[in-house]
Chains A and B, each alone.
Chain A
Amino acid sequence: MAVTRADVEHVAHLARMALDEQRLPELVEQLNAILGHMEVLSRVKTEGVIGAASVGDAALPLREDAGPPIPLARRLDHFAPKMRDGLFLVPRLATHERSGEDAQ
């Protein structure tokens, strides 16, 4: 399963990373080298093995439906890059189209 330049570009898109044109060939090579070392796994027999869903032996604990929330020692605008009227601001999306689509 060789990683192509297009794969790396696709993955970078999914991860919201812009990659330097010059760095791309090196990254493609490195990812191929690293994944090459992973090929050994394909030869391990794992039929019937249930993958570790979690390592701990704890069952999921549940909390009561009650407050108070964990307090914040500082106001949001202390660390938020850009705020107005208590709202976080980001550059507007290319379209508003997704405005009704925000909950998936």
Chain B
Amino acid sequence: MTSAGDESRLTSIDVAESFRRMDRVGVGRDGLNIVLWHDRSWSADQAKQAGAEAAEGDGRRTLAGAPFVAKDNIATLHLPTTCGSRILEGYVSPYEATVISRLAKAGAVLVAKTNCDEFAMGSSTEHSAYGPARNPIDPTRVPGGSSGGSAACVAAGIVPFALGSETGGSVRQPASYCGVVGVKPTYGRVSRFGLVAFASSLDQVGVFGATVADAAAALEVIAGRDVLDSTTAPRPVPRYLDEARRSVAGMVIGRPREYFPDSLDPRITALCDRSLEELRALGAEVRNVSLPHTDLAIPVYYIVAPAEASSNLARFDGVRYGLRIEGDGLRAMYDATRSRGFGPEVTRRILLGTYVLSAGYYDAYYKKAQAVRALIAQDFRDVFADGVDVLFTPTAPSPAFLLGAKSDPYEMYLNDIFTATANLAGVPAMSQPIGRVDGLPIGGQFIACHFEEASMFRAAFALERALQQGAMS
């Protein structure tokens, strides 16, 4: 499978060490509050089993014994799956997500479920029913979100890789805030079976890695068609680690001007341009390009995502599982269960989504948004058809902000300004650390054409090495 050279690039931590680091860092509610559920002895057993099977020489067990954490909205059989919500408190899924089974088959061991914004709705991991998570780099700040707990676990050195989920930037933005690698694959690349749906046409399981190689290795295991998810593509999965090592010489890297507005912190612009310089030095061609519909992404996103969410979250009705608060009659039971089970941000989005789908508003909002979404997707197709291999942009407009700093919902939504486009278009994108501002990590983003994760990894891997060498010299 992977060559010895690749393996050596993977961060090596075992399960026992992972738990020692959790203790040292303080991942629980009284600490960073990045881990919601874990079970030491169960994970230790899994590790023993994985170790035994690896010793038997099953070559496919590429991640044998590697610990990982998963966002709490991914169904796992042993640990709870609550989506950071009161409405699923205590819920343990009786079936398992495809991504979890695939990782287990490769020998990886789940060590914890991580904190997240409730039902993945948020950009800070503050909107969790189990309290806000903190950034291990600076605990007064948010780790980003919604997959903040998973990003923070990788940043804290607890695991080499982690699973998160993306709807509008929920892997890339926390990766940027925590200084780790975060990948959102092409829509349809990774199975959503077992990922609790937020917005089905945008959701995708993503991976965090301590390095580009860690993320690529994990993605390789979870990617590929799944008969249980009708939206997965029947396309072969390349060897991402091999692809990543290819030279960037001759690659065309686009710098879309809409992602570098005048209002952007010049220090972030400077870090991005330095990264582009490094890539140019390695033989890549950097080209200025334009994606004219970029500024429409947030309005489109905040119509499409809540609309789908309002429907996806209807199943939480107190009938078959999860929280149920009795009331006088069925209607009262529904109302009490749902109003008290969902937090304020989820409530807001359910109402917003219900509104834009309701009679008389559908055409003006939902239908219009889907049409503009098609224009946004066309922007990407055009630029990639013009010979651009990958785009490079900042991941987020700022470094991690202080807990409680953003109280206005729309201001919070603007955090997704550079990331939501890729979800709307379905293209793959990833964030990696490119430097620091005020001592806080800043992420740079590569965006590639549909199913061209390999090009993205190639550029990211080269940049990672170049920045490391630059830092050392």
Contact = CB atoms under 8 A, between A and B. Distances in A.
Given A16-B334, A70-B95, A81-B324, A50 B374 contact: yes
Interface string A29-45: 01101110110111010
A44 B310 CA distance: 25
Contacts of A17: 335, 338-339, 342, 347, 350-351
B75 to A, nearest CB: 11
A53 to B, nearest CB: 8
B330 A92 contact: yes
Contacts of A73: 77, 94-95
Nearest to A80: B320
Contacts of B370: 51-52
Contact of A15 (B233, B299, B310): B310
A1 interface: yes
A38 B372 CA distance: 12
A66 interface: no
B261 to A, nearest CB: 16
Main secondary structure of the interface of A (DSSP, over half): loop
Interface stretch (B142-150, B224-232, B244-252, B462-470): B224-232
Given A16-B338, A90-B330, A38 B299 contact: yes
Contact of B410 (A33, A50, A79): A33
B296 interface: yes
Contacts of B232: 56, 58
A48 to B, nearest CB: 9
A96 B361 CA distance: 33
Contact of B92 (A38, A40, A63, A74): A74
Which of the four size classes fits the interface of chain A? Answer: 35 or more
Nearest to B375: A49
Contacts of A51: 367, 370-371, 373-374
B351 A52 contact: no
Contacts of A52: 201, 370, 373-374, 377
Contacts of A11: 351, 354-355, 358
Contacts of A93: 329-330
Given A30-B348, A63-B227, A93-B329, A88 B320 contact: yes
Contacts of B375: 44, 46, 49
B408 to A, nearest CB: 8
Contact of A31 (B296, B303, B317, B355): B355
B260 interface: no
B364 interface: yes
Contact of A91 (B95, B202, B302, B333): B333
Interface string B354-372: 1100100100110111111
Interface residues of B, number: 75
A89 to B, nearest CB: 9
A56 B372 CA distance: 17
A34 B410 contact: yes
B172 interface: no
Interface in B294-329: 296, 298-300, 302-303, 310, 314, 317-324, 326-329
B184 interface: no
B409 interface: yes
Interface string B387-414: 0000000000000000000000110010
Nearest to B77: A73
A1 B331 CA distance: 30
28 contacts: A8-B355, A10-B358, A11-B351, A12-B351, A15-B314, A15-B350, A16-B335, A17-B338, A17-B342, A18-B335, A18-B338, A27-B351, A34-B409, A41-B365, A41-B369, A41-B372, A44-B368, A49-B374, A49-B375, A57-B233, A58-B233, A79-B91, A79-B92, A81-B320, A81-B323, A90-B333, A91-B332, A94-B329
The 8 closest A-B CB pairs, nearest first, are A51-B370, A55-B426, A56-B188, A18-B335, A46-B371, A81-B324, A16-B334, A74-B94
Interface of B: 77, 91-92, 94-95, 187-188, 201-202, 227-228, 230-234, 293, 296, 298-300, 302-303, 310, 314, 317-324, 326-336, 338-339, 342, 347-348, 350-352, 354-355, 358, 361, 364-365, 367-375, 377, 409-410, 413, 424-426, 450
